Chains A and B, each alone.
Chain A
Amino acid sequence: MSTANKTIHFTLNGRPVTAEVAPHHTLVELLQNQFNLNGARESCAQGLCGCCTVLVDGKSVSGCLYLASFADGTAVDTIEGVADGVALDPVQEAFIEAGAFQCGFCTSGFILMTKQLLDAHPAPDDDQIRHYLAGNLCRCATYPEIIRAVKLAATKRKTVTA
């Protein structure tokens, strides 16, 4: 049996990168151990909480359930790539203005999911927000503020694109 490492190439937050991965390594482990990106972090390790959310080819995945080798040839985006230099993304601004976090552990996941949510539903109602974010947990229970932040972000995005 060969458990050999594999060399993979992918785009990480817009930059081409190369990494050596073992077959059993997860995407979160790869991002943390080889790229020092700690925004996606493992909490439940079961796909339920969303703290490990990253985007692969523009689609959200749970980095804890996603093998690192799957990233070969893809474009991976993490929370670290969301701001444009020092200018925050409207979703990030909205989370700060709405006070949509306490400890912040879940926030990177919620922000990435909210960006996806607003791509799918530019003006979501409460039901759509709750449904879309049902796979993200906040142990500090800032859910009411998160819903407000998503709506605020939707308005900010409209102003940006208008």
Chain B
Amino acid sequence: MIPFEMLEPKSLRDATALLDADDPTIRPLGGGTALMLMMKAGVFQPSRLVSLRSVEPRYSTITVNSDGSFNIGALAPLASLEHSADIHKHLPVITRTMQVLSNVRVRNVATIGGCLAHGDPHMDLPPVLISLGAKVRVIGPDSERTIPVADLLTGYYETQLAKNELIAELIIPPQNGKRSVYLKCTTRAAHDWPALGVAVSVAGNRDGLSEAHVVISAATERAQRVEQASALLVGPPANDKLFKDAGEAAASAVELIGDSQGSVPYKRQLVRVFVERALRQAIDGGITQ
């Protein structure tokens, strides 16, 4: 790796001032797991990294509120979500997703903020968080705004964040008994990234769903909601035929990318199968949250 300057501000707000809206060679550093890979490969050559590791400890905490909503600091390591009893109780889909996300050492170091800001469409948590209706609170040198995770991700490794904005925390609303499932399909490509990720979250039962969210990732340029499938699911009896139709609707709605993990027609078939399967598991699996 080439030499660079490293700054370690003590506050998140100070960190935003050390970034530069116009300079892409300056970036914040969370756990560094993604940045290290990019720096080692030479695809990112920083002039300055602003480490967030010394900012206020409250940005590493996980707070569950009385209504079952969560505030999770951007610097919280993924392992702290994995092992949180509150998350296991209220958001078991996150606990389960951690089991298929990378390895123990990466989860010990990678942060939730870095995970959301990285923008790699193959990652596992963004689709899950979108299906749960999560938002991020973002701060700049003299600004603050809250963005749904669904809108944060704008393209392949692209987000809505300005270069001097930082994710301060993740906000997950109460789930009120909704059931959620995340499935990924890995096709034994050399790098092990999935060909498809599907996250669904539904309220209701076999008689009918009052709410449904279907999110597709990995096969697309960014994790995204599939409104066509979600809309079709709300109302009628939630039988296998409906789930099959939702899979079909999702398969024809999303724009897929063919690559080493699979061709477009192959991934289209995966979408059909996995959306249907995820919905069936959400309804029948007894997985409540």
B1-51 CB contacts (< 8 Å) to partner A: 1-6, 32-33, 36-37, 39-40, 47-49, 51
Cα–Cα distance between A47 and B36 once the two chains are bound (Å): 10
Residue in contact with B47 in the complex, picked from A1, A26, A46, A60, CB distance below 8 Å: A1
Which segment of B96-104, B117-125, B234-242 sits at the interface? Answer: B96-104
Which segment of A10-18, A130-138, A143-151 sits at the interface? Answer: A130-138
B residues contacting the other copy or chain, number (CB 8 A): 26
Residue in contact with A46 in the complex, picked from B1, B6, B37, CB distance below 8 Å: B37
Whether the pair B4, A3 counts as a contact (CB closer than 8 A) is yes
Set of chain A residues within 8 Å of B210, measured between Cβ atoms: none
Set of chain B residues within 8 Å of A132, measured between Cβ atoms: 104
Cα–Cα distance between A29 and B271 once the two chains are bound (Å): 44
Q: How many interface residues does chain A have, given as a range?
A: 20 to 34
A62 smallest CB distance to B (angstroms): 5
A71 smallest CB distance to B (angstroms): 11
A59 smallest CB distance to B (angstroms): 5
Whether the pair B4, A23 counts as a contact (CB closer than 8 A) is yes
Whether the pair B104, A23 counts as a contact (CB closer than 8 A) is no
Known: A2-B5, A23-B6. A70 touches B53 (CB 8 A): yes
B105 at the A/B interface (Cβ < 8 Å)?
A: yes
Cα–Cα distance between A66 and B35 once the two chains are bound (Å): 10
Q: Which residue of B lies closest to A59 (CB)?
A: B108
Whether the pair B104, A47 counts as a contact (CB closer than 8 A) is no
B106 at the A/B interface (Cβ < 8 Å)?
A: yes
Cα–Cα distance between A59 and B82 once the two chains are bound (Å): 14
B279 smallest CB distance to A (angstroms): 26
Whether the pair B1, A24 counts as a contact (CB closer than 8 A) is yes
Set of chain B residues within 8 Å of A75, measured between Cβ atoms: none
Residue in contact with B105 in the complex, picked from A1, A2, A61, A131, CB distance below 8 Å: A61
Cα–Cα distance between A138 and B105 once the two chains are bound (Å): 16
Whether the pair A3, B103 counts as a contact (CB closer than 8 A) is no
- 7 tightest A-B CB contacts, nearest first: A135-B103, A23-B6, A3-B3, A65-B36, A24-B1, A59-B108, A62-B105
